[in-house]
């Protein structure tokens, strides 16, 4: 007779190292009041090295689907993500924009065509000699191509994520309940960086809030009157972004999960973050008297999160002090 090994269920107030798609199966059914997390953003970070775009989409779908059995009826799934995703895509045409503001010489496409019509047998080297420029400049004017070394610049793919998130949650059995807009500080205000296209620098992200059918307790005493006025009933949350973001590209400030935790849970409820990173959600849960379960596949992130939780008693005065603590811990682990 075969012996089947039953894995232990995940217990609250612990950070677990491993793949969320495996560990979520070990969480007790209908035990999570709120799951709030920010997934990998697919922007080429080291922790995304094994993911193709198709893999990334499947990861989100699988993780969302695995949440339905473990969320309490009437509970919530909150996903924080930038709605516009940008990444290099080899499948797109490799064409360089005609950025006239960066031209070093005033040569136009029409100038090149006019001379080429007069000398149809000239190649780009002869045209370059005539105009006193490089053959690359000739090709750029005629074709918009970057031909240096025979290489072409990869184009940036722009992808809206909201539809993927909503369809995955709906297929899993959730219903869209609400959406909050997180407006960050003007991170590029004093920067020398400028875009070379017409695209904007995205300074906001969304919180997509999904509801599992069941009785949801509405308790306005969870927030103070000032909190209700400032953010409880408002669709736009203005929260400064994390100043040190070197260890995890999708890290959010402690105030972000803290608001969701206060709004959607009661003391002693269990809050889940399956991409816990440096432990932000765990700290926010503890600060509000909730229990937590954290999961991350990166060993260093788990080490930082565990150290942060262990140091919580020293920094439990407020989100700002906890941000300082996380910054110190990240700096320490990056030198190891």
Q: Which of 80-84, 151-155, 283-287 has the highest mean pLDDT?
A: 283-287
DSSP 78-121: EEEE-SEEEEEETTS-------GGG-SS---HHHHHHHHHH-TT
Query: Directed axis angle between helix 135-143 and helix 109-118, to 10°?
Result: 100
| For residue 306, pLDDT beyond 50 | yes
Could you count the other beta carbons within 10 Å of the beta carbon of residue 39? 19
pLDDT at 204 over 70: yes
pLDDT in tens, 88-109: 777 777 665 556 666 667 788 8
Residues in the chain: 336
Residues 280/323, Cβ–Cβ less than 8 Å = no
Using the structure block, give the residue that is written with the tokens 């929260």: 239
pTM across the whole model: 0.77
| Unique residue bearing structure tokens 């999904």 | 210
Instruction: Give residue-wise pLDDT tens across range 241-259.
Output: 876 555 444 567 899 999 9
Nearest residue to 37 (alpha-carbon basis) of 328, 320, 292, 308: 292
Position 150 scores a pLDDT of 41
Helix (H), strand (E) at residue 66 = helix 53-67
Strand partners of residue 159: 85
Domain extent listing, the chain? 14-84+161-189+200-334, 100-150
Tens of pLDDT along 37-51? 999 887 666 656 677
Q: pLDDT band for position 189 (50/70/90)?
A: low
Q: How many angstroms separate the CA atoms of 270 and 31, rounded?
A: 7
Token pair in block for residue 146: 């970057």
Residue 158 has pLDDT above 90, yes or no: no
How far is Cα of residue 30 from the mean position of the Cα atoms in its chain?
27
Report which of 104, 102, 147 is spatially closest to residue 124, judged by C-alpha positions: 147
Q: Binning pLDDT at 50, 70 and 90, where does residue 265 land?
A: very high
**Cα 215 from Cα 141, distance rounded (Å):** 64
Q: At what angle do helices 319-334 and 299-310 cross, to 10 degrees?
A: 140
What distance in Å separates the CA atoms of residue 216 and residue 149, rounded to the nearest whole number? 62
**CATH code given to domain 14-84+161-189+200-334:** 3.40.50.150
Mean pLDDT of the chain: 83
């Amino acid at each position: 007779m075969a012996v089947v090994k039953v894995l232990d269920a995940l217990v609250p107030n612990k950070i677990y190292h491993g793949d969320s798609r495996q560990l979520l199966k070990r969480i007790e059914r209908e035990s999570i009041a709120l799951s709030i997390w920010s997934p990998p953003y697919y922007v080429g970070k080291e922790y995304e090295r094994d993911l193709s775009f198709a893999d990334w989409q499947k990861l989100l779908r699988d993780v969302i689907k695995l949440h339905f059995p473990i969320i309490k009826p009437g509970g919530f799934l909150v996903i924080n993500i930038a709605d516009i995703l940008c990444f290099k895509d080899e499948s797109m045409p490799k064409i360089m924009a005609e950025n006239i503001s960066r031209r070093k010489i005033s040569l136009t496409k029409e100038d090149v065509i006019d001379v080429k019509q007069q000398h149809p047998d000239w190649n780009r080297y002869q045209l370059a000699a005539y105009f006193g420029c490089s053959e690359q400049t000739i090709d750029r004017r005629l074709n918009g191509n970057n031909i240096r070394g025979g290489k072409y610049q990869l184009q940036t793919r722009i992808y809206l994520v909201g539809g993927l998130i909503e369809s995955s949650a709906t297929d899993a059995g959730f219903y869209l309940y609400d959406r909050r807009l997180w407006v960050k500080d003007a991170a590029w205000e004093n920067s020398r960086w400028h875009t070379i296209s017409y695209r904007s620098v995205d300074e906001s992200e969304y919180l997509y809030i999904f509801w599992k059918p069941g009785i949801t307790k509405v308790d306005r005493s969870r927030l103070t009157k000032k909190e209700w006025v400032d953010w409880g009933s408002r669709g736009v949350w203005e929260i400064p972004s994390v100043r040190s973001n070197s260890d995890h590209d999708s890290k959010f400030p402690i105030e972000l999960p803290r608001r969701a935790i206060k709004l959607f849970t009661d003391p002693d409820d269990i809050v889940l973050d399956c991409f816990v990173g440096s432990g932000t959600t765990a700290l926010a849960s503890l600060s509000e008297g909730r229990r937590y379960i954290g999961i991350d596949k990166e060993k260093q992130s788990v080490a930082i999160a565990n150290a942060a939780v262990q140091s919580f008693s020293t920094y439990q005065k407020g989100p700002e002090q906890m941000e300082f603590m996380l910054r110190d811990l990240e700096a320490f682990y990056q030198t190891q």
